[in-house]
Amino acid sequence: MPEIPELEAIRAFLAERLPGRRVAAVDPRIPPVFRTPAAELRERLPGDVFGAPLRHGKFLLLPFASGMVLAVNPMLTGRFQYVPADEPLAKRTCLRITVEDGRDLRYVDDRVMGKLYFLPADGLARIPGWADAGPDFLDPALTEELWVERIRRFRGAIKAVLTNAKFVQGIGNAYADEILWEARVNPFTPRTTLDEAQLRALFRAGRAVMAWAVPLAAAAMVRGDRLDYEERRDFLRVHRRGGQPCPRCGTPISEITAGGRVTSFCRTCQPGGPLIGRGATGRPAGR
């Protein structure tokens, strides 16, 4: 699942290439991913001009001179490609946008789980969940003080809180593991048992992990003028490294799978916390 580092790397790559370029052709190919009529893209997008790509939480936002925005949530298996237009299409290419420079921006989704919306820039609140979601984790307005204030409204295991979009957007399963390892916090620790120093450490760890991971994510998917994102995260220190030595203390990394989600952590560096149980939903306190 693309999270902040991957999407930031993709955004930065496209920001160097797309603004001011005209759309030559559009081919919406697999209907289930389109949450607004695919015909609107086919009819309205050719001839429009790209603006500067943006990212919000786990959405990549592609604005156009017309005032429309293509908002893409790649979910679990969505991938972006920027490749020569004559390159053969991947099997699950859902959307193909041919740019006037002779290259394609493609959205590929092996499990067709992603969600694509084509909306006016002032209509993004129509996306389900958009209006009641928390701030983007890299939003400069999300200060350490605001982080502490907001996180205290949520109960449950701390990893579930970090990945709850109603608390903060952009952190998913993989980077939650990395943040918790960096902060030396057990992922199954109830948020209510963490003191203020630990809550602040999580914020600082999160920002440090994102700054560290973005260039590494870019190196994994960018080759010159080519973007071909496949989920390769061999630079991660703990996530999905069960049985390997912790890079900090050498203890074999533990992995627990619950609800289809893998959690990786070091029992020495991240002691305490029930292994798993009720109350791990990350729901706001009092609900």
Q: Among this protein's residues, is 274 annotated catalytic?
A: no
Sign of the Cα torsion 83, 57, 5, 211 reads: positive
Whole-number Å distance between alpha carbons of 164 and 167: 6
Which of 6, 28, 55, 58 is catalytic? The answer is 58
Q: Of these residues, 232, 261, 271, 274, which one is catalytic?
A: 261
Amino acid identity, position 146: L
- In which element (H, E) is residue 279 found? none
CA distance 193 to 151: 12
94: enclosing H helix or E strand: strand 93-99
Of the residues 2, 53, 187, 190, only one is catalytic, namely 2
Q: What is the dihedral of CA 180, 243, 213, 91, to 10 degrees?
A: -120
Contact status, residue 136 vs residue 169, Cβ threshold 8 Å: yes
Q: Which two tokens stand for residue 7?
A: 């999407």
End-to-end Cα separation, the chain, in angstroms: 28
Distance of CA 51 to the CA centre of its chain: 21
- Is residue 255 annotated as part of the catalytic site, yes or no? no
Query: 166 catalytic, yes or no?
Result: no
Question: CA 190, 196, 201, 202 torsion: positive or negative?
Answer: positive
Q: Is 3 a catalytic residue?
A: yes
Catalytic residues: 2-3, 58, 261
